[in-house]
């Protein structure tokens, strides 16, 4: 873990006066105080030391960040398991080391860095500052860096990685998490988030170079280095141009009287959604004035997650009523996810992620069918979803003849699989995860709230020309392909040992290594445990989906056809549950 310093310096004197009596902890404290150049976070550790808060010091300094379903994510603040200047420098040093090993042309192709608008005054920590430090580590090592001059939606980073043929990219964001959090999302050269083994290898490399290198703290390099380029205009122009590939009814969009309200949830989305609507020929959507501009405190919502539904969409729904707008689109703070609400008979329907996926799936396939060439092969067409999402796309695929595949939870698995399918000559129309993450088309190999917002606007416009609402079309889809009724929610749990106990109890229910046979009066037919790789429905009892030991996930299939999954979130302290009943058409 790096070199220890001489006993005569300030940090050593502080430590001698306040030794914790634990050699490992003393070493970690010493390293922090020696390496951290951010006065605010350094003072947080000094204060804990001087006040004898040894347990909190241990919690902060004796474990490291690990890659979850969306990269590194944690609270901002001092400590090796928090997001701060030092841990971002360490992570980037590890990434530099790994990329240098993987790419002989790393220093020709370069690296993309983007950021959102999060920040925390008490830690002197902001997404832009963390992005500047990320760039500094690489620029100091003579790596060209494409550093966006202002905040961008998360999908712009994977898009830029592919467009600029960079080896990788990082987006500093915690998406829709609470305001205290931030994160570090890594994209590979294929434009998809990193998966195993890259994540594990990068963690190893981070651990090999934890002490900041000369130049790593020089955040001004972004403003002075000739190796830094600003890709903003090029990427924004190309993205909006590419977006037009999935615009099918421009003339309707230009003429429509339908009004849309957009909220960007105090995040990055406003300017980009306005441009996307313009690219499709629409009038700009009406912005929610209180939520249009970035605000790291997310001051008008109790949590900045549009998935929470009507309670957090209050301002946009009231504005839509006032403006007589029938549809509300809400992008989360980093604009990679989308919530949609529609007014009907004086009340609002907020669609779930699974319901929106049914609409998107129908739309993307019906547009493909209407516009494809005569020799197009439906057997080469694919749609994807994560395994905890609704099986509605499977039902549409069975009836229409295209392929449906599922992946582990997290868009990183979808992105990698989509790239693989494209490389093998297949066509991917749509992919989703139930937590309102949608990928329409394949310009971006990640979820994208900007493109999803304008696609849903075009869909609503088209349906209005047929005297249908989105909600009415959804009923038609279920009547054609079979009703899919789902319930998803979560329990908050801040204590990892408790979570582990809950899942271990399920694995050793009535006896060691035995799962429950009933849930209340309902008989359980099959159990799949992704954490251990067990699947009772398979002849060899092995799960077809890859094992994921780092997270908890068990799926129960009931005799009555219900499928229910319990899993831990990869980004928040939540135990999530997902249940769905699928009926046959006409049932």
Per DSSP, the residues of 508-539 read BSSSTTB--SEETTEEEEEEEETTTTEETTST
Judged by DSSP in three states, 422 sits in: helix
Give the pairing type, strands 381-386 and 403-407.
Answer: parallel
Residues 473 and 336 in one domain: yes
C-alpha–C-alpha distance, residues 254 and 228, integer Å: 39
DSSP 283: P
Residues 463 and 537 in one domain: no
Question: Residues 542, 530: contact at Cβ < 8 Å?
Answer: no
Q: Is 333 part of any domain?
A: yes
Q: State the total domains in the chain.
A: 3
Q: Is 511 part of any domain?
A: yes
Question: What is the domain-level CATH number for residue 531?
Answer: 3.30.310.50
Residues 356 and 461 in one domain: yes
Residues 470 and 490 in one domain: no
Give the pairing type, strands 553-558 and 522-529.
Answer: antiparallel
Residues 225 and 184 in one domain: yes
CA angle 457, 463, 464 (to 5 degrees): 90
- Which alpha helices (H) appear in 372-495, and where do they start and end? 392-400, 411-423, 449-465, 470-481
175 catalytic, yes or no? yes
For residue 17, the model assigns a pLDDT of 59
Decide which of 230, 265, 292 is a domain's last residue.
230
Q: Is 471 part of any domain?
A: yes
Domain enclosing residue 475, as ranges: 246-481
Q: Is 70 part of any domain?
A: yes
Q: Is 110 part of any domain?
A: yes
Residues 166 and 263 in one domain: no
For residue 11, the model assigns a pLDDT of 59
For residue 5, the model assigns a pLDDT of 36
DSSP 193: B
Question: Residues 172, 114: contact at Cβ < 8 Å?
Answer: yes
Note the pTM of the prediction, 2 decimals. Answer: 0.93
| Residues in Cβ contact with 360 at an 8 Å cutoff, skipping those fewer than 6 apart | 430, 432, 438, 440, 452, 455, 456, 459
Q: Is 47 part of any domain?
A: no
Question: Residues 263, 330: contact at Cβ < 8 Å?
Answer: yes
Residues 467 and 493 in one domain: no
Residues 391 and 416 in one domain: yes
Question: What is the domain-level CATH number for residue 367?
Answer: 3.40.120.10
Q: Which phi and psi angles does 440 have, rounded to 5°?
A: -100, 115
Which residue in the list 74, 91, 126, 175 is annotated as catalytic? 175
Residues 299 and 154 in one domain: no
Residues 377 and 433 in one domain: yes
Residues 327 and 209 in one domain: no
Q: At what angle do helices 198-208 and 85-102 cross, to 10 degrees?
A: 120
Q: Which residue in this structure is represented by tokens 């989105």? A: 470
Q: Is 240 part of any domain?
A: no
C-alpha–C-alpha distance, residues 375 and 390, integer Å: 31
Decide which of 198, 230, 262 is a domain's last residue.
230
Judged by DSSP in three states, 239 sits in: helix
Residues 469 and 493 in one domain: no
Q: Is 155 part of any domain?
A: yes
E strand or H helix at 527: strand 522-529
User: Mean pLDDT for each consecutive 10-residue tract of the chain (587 residues)?
Assistant: 39 65 92 97 96 95 83 95 97 97 98 98 98 98 98 98 98 96 97 92 94 96 98 98 98 98 98 98 98 97 93 96 98 98 94 98 98 95 97 97 95 96 98 97 98 98 98 97 93 92 95 94 96 95 90 94 92 91 84
Decide which of 447, 463, 481 is a domain's last residue.
481
């Amino acid at each position: 873990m790096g070199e220890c310093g001489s006993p005569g310096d300030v940090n050593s004197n502080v430590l001698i006066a306040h030794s914790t009596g634990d050699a490992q902890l003393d070493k970690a404290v010493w390293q922090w105080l020696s390496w951290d150049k951010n006065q605010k976070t350094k003072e947080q550790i000094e204060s804990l030391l001087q006040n004898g808060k040894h347990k909190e010091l241990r919690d902060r300094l004796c474990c490291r960040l690990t890659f979850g379903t969306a990269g590194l994510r944690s609270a901002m603040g001092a400590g090796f398991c928090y997001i701060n200047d030092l841990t971002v420098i360490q992570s980037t040093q590890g990434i530099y080391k790994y990329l240098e090993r993987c790419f002989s042309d790393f220093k020709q192709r370069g690296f993309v860095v983007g950021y959102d608008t999060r920040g925390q005054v008490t830690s002197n920590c902001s997404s832009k500052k963390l992005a500047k430090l990320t760039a500094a580590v690489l620029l100091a090592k003579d790596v060209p860096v494409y550093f966006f001059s202002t905040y961008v939606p998360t999908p712009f980073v994977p898009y830029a990685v592919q467009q600029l043929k960079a080896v990788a990219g990082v987006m500093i964001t915690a998406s829709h998490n609470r305001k205290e959090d931030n994160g570090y999302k890594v994209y590979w050269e294929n434009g998809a988030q990193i998966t195993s083994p890259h994540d594990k290898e990068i963690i190893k490399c981070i651990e090999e170079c934890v002490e900041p290198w000369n130049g790593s703290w020089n955040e001004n390099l972004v403003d002075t280095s000739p190796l830094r380029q600003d890709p903003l205009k090029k990427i924004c122009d190309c993205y909006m141009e590419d977006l037009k590939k999935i615009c099918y009814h421009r003339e309707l969009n230009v003429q429509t009287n339908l009004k849309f309200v957009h909220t960007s949830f105090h995040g990055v989305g406003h300017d980009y959604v306005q441009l996307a609507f313009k690219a499709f020929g629409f009038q700009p959507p009406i912005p929610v004035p209180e939520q249009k501009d970035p605000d790291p405190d997310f001051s008008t919502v109790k949590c900045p997650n549009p998935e929470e539904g009507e309670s957090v969409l209050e301002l946009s729904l009231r504005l839509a009523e006032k403006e007589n707008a029938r549809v509300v689109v809400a992008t989360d703070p980093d604009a990679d996810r989308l919530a949609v609400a529609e007014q009907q008979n004086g009340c609002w329907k907020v669609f779930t992620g699974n319901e929106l996926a049914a609409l998107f799936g129908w739309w993307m396939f019906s547009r493909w069918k209407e516009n494809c060439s005569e020799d197009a092969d439906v057997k080469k067409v694919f749609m994807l979803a994560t395994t905890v999402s609704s099986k509605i796309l499977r039902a549409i695929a069975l009836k229409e003849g295209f392929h449906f595949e599922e992946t582990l939870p997290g868009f990183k698995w979808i992105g990698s699989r989509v790239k693989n399918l494209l490389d093998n000559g297949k066509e991917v129309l749509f992919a989703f995860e139930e937590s309102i993450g949608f990928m329409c088309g394949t310009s971006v190999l990640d979820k994208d709230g900007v493109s999803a917002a304008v696609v849903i606007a075009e869909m609503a416009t088209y349906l209005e020309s047929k005297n249908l609402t989105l909600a009415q079309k959804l009923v038609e889809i279920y009547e054609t392909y079979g009703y899919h009724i789902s319930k998803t929610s979560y329990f908050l749990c801040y204590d990892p040992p408790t979570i582990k106990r809950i899942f271990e109890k399920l694995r050793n229910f009535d006896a060691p290594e035995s799962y429950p046979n009933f849930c209340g009066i309902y008989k359980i037919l099959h159990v799949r445990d992704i954490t251990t790789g067990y699947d009772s429905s398979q002849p060899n009892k092995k799960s077809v989906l890859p094992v994921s030991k780092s997270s908890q996930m068990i799926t129960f299939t009931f005799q009555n056809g219900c499928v229910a999954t319990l899993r831990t979130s990869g980004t928040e302290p939540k135990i999530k549950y997902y249940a769905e009943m699928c009926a046959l058409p006409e049932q």
